[in-house]
Amino acid sequence: MPAARSICRIRPTSSKHRPNTAAVLKHIPYPELAARLRRGDTLADAAEYFCVTEDFLRKAYALYRDMGYDFGAEEKA
């Protein structure tokens, strides 16, 4: 039986980033994160909302920025 192929079009720069990218895309949808940050939530507030650590949320924020997404507001630590 052939291995399942990923339908994700995002190519991480190295295999060590693959789990983080997959986890971010699964647990922190960009539209929801952007909406929370635009309405004034801090990264700590958003991390609590998504039930993740603030460090993980910062990685998600950086990943989406690297992918070219815009949050329309600067990061509030």
Chain segment 12-56, per-residue pLDDT in tens: 455 555 557 888 888 899 999 999 999 999 999 999 999 999 999
Q: Which of 34, 18, 27, 32 is nearest to 69 (CA)?
A: 34
pTM: 0.68
Which has the higher per-residue pLDDT, 73 or 25?
25
Residue 71: both structure tokens together:
């949050």
pLDDT number for residue 22: 85
pLDDT number for residue 74: 55
pLDDT number for residue 9: 47
pLDDT number for residue 19: 53
